[in-house]
Amino acid sequence: MRKPRLPLADLVRRARHAMPQGQHHGAAAPDTLTDIENFGPNPGALRMRVFIPEHLPAGAPLLVALHGCTQDAAGFDHGCGWSALATAHGFALLLPEQRRQNNPGNCFSWFEPGDTSRGQGEAASIRAMVAHLVAAHGLDQARVCVTGLSAGGAMAASLLATHPDIFAAGVIFAGLPHGSAGNVQEAFEAMASGRPRSAEAWAGLVRAAAPPGTARWPRVAIWQGEADGTVRPVNARELAKQWAALHGLDPARPADQGPLGPTGAGQRQAWRDAQGRVVLEVNGVAGMDHGVPIHPGIGPDRGGRTMPFILDTGIPGPQRAVEFLGLAEAAEAAERPAPGRGIILVGADGTAHRPGAASPGAAPMPEPEPEQGGWPDPGAVIRKALKAAGLMS
């Protein structure tokens, strides 16, 4: 077990100070998640928590959801409604959880190079969890996505940067660019100022962290409260610069721009690749402080529960995230054969390999370099019922 990083108490105090009044305490969230032990290498000493919908077919996608500081996996799930969305749309859900022995405030260590580098620390633990779930449930390794809030959003950005061969897309809520901090002091500076760089400088930090020769970059959506006093909105602009440059696009020239939703409570910008596909999206929520925007209640485009950093804005952020990631079509896509890359198995030593491979190291799910260590269609009737219940948009 790693020693706790005591300076993170400062981050916790700041996070609590930023909570809306009256949201410091509350009843514990219902916990519908399952723990998985011995999933493989765990150098980051994280807890593995999962939600697998009943009758999930082989070839389903996987969403990794990373909570923010002072939160836990169950609370993040309950507030955002991730497991309800997984049930409605047919995808597996992985919610890694930080341990207080590592960080007093339950913050993922997005500012520690030893935890955000390929094959090391927390990043390696999360990668091992992904490999385990892909193997255990026959998931589609071409449709593994990640999302996160605040510290979890910044860690999601680093996972996208360091593992573009694993993650197809990501949605970052109130996060920061990969490489924006290398210690606690720099983390404070980044949260307040964004530590601005040129687009190419930001992109260079990702290229240096990714496997050599990487040519395909994940699609990324960014969500940011325009009144966020914890992670200032400048960070969303720096994030956009980083990912626009990686996709060969001009961060100052979005292809689409307009109001965010029918109420116009913010602005949406989108950048498209040469094929017209949206590869980068920035959503600025007017008047929102630090958190994930939700639209609680029953009905289409509604769900989740208001909690600290899970904020009722009338905008269904988690649902929009699932749509951007392509997971809203998961149930329909599940009837198709899984992509040719096949199913991955994980041995007792945590090594991932394909069934029938000559050795545990043959034809693996993309692994870190050796020196870095391991890692029915529901039918129209059912879909109509889910829509009527507000579980599918």
Alpha-carbon distance 59 to 280, whole Å?
Answer: 26
150 is catalytic: yes
Whether 190 and 242 have beta carbons less than 8 Å apart is answered as: no
Q: What SS3 state is found at 100?
A: coil
Contacts of residue 227, Cβ cutoff 8 Å, sequence gap at least 6:
286, 287, 288, 289
- For the chain, the first-to-last Cα distance in angstroms comes to 43
In the structure encoding, which two tokens stand for residue 21, read together?
A: 């009044």
Contacts of residue 266, Cβ cutoff 8 Å, sequence gap at least 6:
226, 259, 260, 283, 284, 285, 286, 288, 315
Helices of type H across 117-257: 121-137, 151-162, 184-193, 199-209, 234-246
Whether 365 and 142 have beta carbons less than 8 Å apart is answered as: no
Which of the following is catalytic: 109, 125, 150, 158?
150
Residues belonging to the active site: 150
